[in-house]
Amino acid sequence: MAMKTEPFVVNIGPQHPSTHGVFRMKLTLDGERIIDVDMILGYLHRSMEKLAEERTYTQNIPFTDRADYLAAMTGNLAYCLAAEKLAGVEVPERAQWLRVIMSELQRIASHALAIGTFINDCGAWHTPLMYMLREREKVLDLFEMACGARLTVNYMRIGGVAFDVPDGFVPACRALVKEMPDRIAEYEGLLLENEILVARARGVGILPADMAIAYSISGPMLRGSGVAWDLRKADPYAVYDQVDFDIPVGTNGDSYDRFLVRMEEMRQSVRILEQGLDALPGGPVNVDIPVALMPPPGETYARIESPRGELGFYVVSDGGPAPFRFHIRAASYINLSALREMTVGLTVADAIVVLGSVDIVMGEVDR
């Protein structure tokens, strides 16, 4: 006769050290097995979408730094693309290439941190995290060289970028690009067959392709489920239609595949960076726009492939100096929606691994 136990509830977060940001999982358990998950958000809500309706289009750029604060460059870019589309602003070619270079550097930095913290979530030792932080610091050094900031960069501008890169930037970036393939190969040798990682992640948190599509999942989570969808190819922006790269995909849609996809995407970002540095032309890096830019009345949506997936900005203009409506389509928020489907039936320890494989940033979720 099977023993029946009384279900009980365990809260993980919002201050638990294993959570990613200020997020709370309310688990209903039967013994150690999860039978229901309630995801509780809002601890980091800052009302930036409403605040953006009281500020000029240019003044809103720093808000995008503080949504996905681990990928500020791509947040800047998505918003600037929306404002440029609304106002009919053409961006110089050098600025377009700088945007691609900065976006791919940001992808490497973001994925490095995602992989390092994921390995920790799996219970492995700290060495991979320290290695990943080392590579991330090298990217942040390049950001500091370009704009004086490392995290909330505020580098993109409507019509281009804030500053041209200094003379030492391209050689320093080439040095990192030359070094990264060997580093990535070293990490793969260290991790791909690691027994702790394989035991904790393979077959855990499976997200089938049809379910990923139904939940509007994007980014490495979608590609980990075997769907080769990447906006840089499907709906190119900037000059991504002029670079060559592959779209890595998984086969099982589990936490291990999501890890593999992020690792391979770092390699593809290196390929894009090589092409971008070789193609970087001379010329201006921005165009003059009015201090109080007032796009004609209308609405637009611009989207990019951020490190976490589709990041989109929906902006409505009423002809004034501030957006009438400002809304962010946040990849972390939508990717998080499938967490319950991926964790019911697993154990509490597995839930931490699955959450780590989603790679959420709560600043983007709550906004």
Q: If you count DSSP H runs as helices and E runs as strands, how many of each does the chain have, helices first?
A: 15, 8
pLDDT > 60? residue 17: no
Asked whether the beta carbons of 84 and 118 are under 8 A apart, the reply is no
Least confident of 5-14, 71-80, 133-142, 295-304: 5-14
User: In degrees rounded to 5, what are phi and psi of residue 11?
Assistant: -95, 130
Taking only the tens place, the pLDDT of each residue in 314-366 is 999 999 999 999 999 999 999 999 999 999 989 888 988 998 899 888 888 88
Strands 160-161 and 298-306, by their bridges, are: unpaired
- pLDDT of residue 1 exceeding 80, the answer is no
| Cα 297 off chain centre by | 31
pLDDT in tens, 149-164: 899 999 999 999 999 9
Domain residue ranges of the chain, discontinuous segments joined by +: 7-366
Q: What is the pLDDT of residue 43?
A: 82
Question: Parallel, antiparallel, or unpaired for β 160-161 and 156-157?
Answer: antiparallel
Residues pairing with 29 in the sheet: 8, 34
Q: How many CA atoms lie within 13 A of 20 on its CB side?
A: 31
Predicted pLDDT of residue 137: 94
Q: Kindly tell me if the per-residue pLDDT of 16 is higher than 60.
A: no
What is the structure's pLDDT at 162? 92
User: With DSSP H G I counted as helix, E B as strand and the rest as coil, what are the percentages for the chain, rounded to 5?
Assistant: 50, 15, 40
CA 295 to chain centre: 29
Tokens 């009438």 identify what position? 324
Angle between the N-to-C axes of helices 169-191 and 93-121, in degrees from 0 to 180, rounded to the nearest 10 = 30
Q: What angle do CA 163, 159, 101 make, to 5 degrees?
A: 55
Q: Is the dihedral of CA 254, 260, 266, 269 positive or negative?
A: negative
CB under 8 A, 24+ apart: contacts of 124-131 = 124/194, 124/196, 124/197, 127/190, 128/187, 128/190, 128/191, 131/183, 131/186, 131/187, 131/190
User: pLDDT digits over 197-246, tens only?
Assistant: 888 989 988 999 999 999 999 999 999 999 999 999 999 999 999 999 99
For the whole model, what pTM was predicted? 0.92
Q: What is the pLDDT of residue 98?
A: 96
Q: What average pLDDT does this structure show over 306-321? A: 94
> In which element (H, E) is residue 329 found?
strand 325-329
Q: Is the peptide bond before 14 cis (omega within 30 degrees of 0)?
A: yes
Q: Can you tell me the mean pLDDT for 39-49?
A: 86
pLDDT at 3: 64
What is the share, in percent, of the chain residues with pLDDT greater than 90? 65
Contact partners, residue 182, CB within 8 Å, separation at least 6: none
What is the pLDDT at residue 4?
Answer: 67
Confidence of residue 40 (pLDDT cuts 50, 70, 90): confident
Q: Which CATH architecture has domain 7-366?
A: Orthogonal Bundle (1.10)
Residue 32: per-residue pLDDT: 86
Neighbours of 147 (CB within 10 A): 18
Residue 185, helix vs strand vs coil: helix
State residue 142 phi and psi, 5-degree precision: -65, -40
Task: Point out which residues pair with 302 in neighbouring strands.
Answer: 313
Mean pLDDT of the chain: 90
Cα separation, 316 vs 325, in Å, equals 5
